[in-house]
């Protein structure tokens, strides 16, 4: 696993891209209800806050395993959010 700075950038890029994809969906579907898409954005922000808090946690014994777990959670939660975007509408 790379360092903390790169992990933070990965979290920011992945979740930022997911939020951007929701905005593109909303722009492409102006007549649709945006309640579901707003929930996806809110969930992405919650995931971002949770993962960044975990990255900044100083009370970790095995940093390598800790960062790998965060990276895995980012992948899993990112895929879940992408699936929710695909099911909008």
Please state, in angstroms and rounded to a whole number, the distance separating the CA atoms of residues 59 and 18: 30
Please state, in angstroms and rounded to a whole number, the distance separating the CA atoms of residues 13 and 75: 12
- Residues 1/64, Cβ–Cβ less than 8 Å: yes
- Residues 51/32, Cβ–Cβ less than 8 Å: no
pLDDT in tens, the chain (89 residues): 458 999 999 999 999 999 999 999 999 998 888 899 999 999 999 999 999 999 999 998 998 999 999 999 999 999 999 999 999 87
Instruction: Tokens 């707003």: give the residue.
Output: 38
């Amino acid at each position: 696993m790379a360092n903390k700075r790169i992990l933070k950038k990965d979290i920011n890029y992945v979740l930022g891209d997911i939020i951007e994809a929701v905005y593109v969906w909303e722009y492409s579907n102006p007549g649709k209800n945006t309640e579901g898409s707003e929930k996806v954005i809110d969930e992405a922000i919650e995931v971002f806050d949770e993962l960044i808090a975990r990255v900044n946690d100083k009370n970790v014994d095995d940093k390598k395993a800790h960062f790998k777990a965060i990276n895995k959670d980012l992948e899993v939660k990112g895929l879940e959010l992408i699936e929710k975007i695909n099911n909008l509408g």
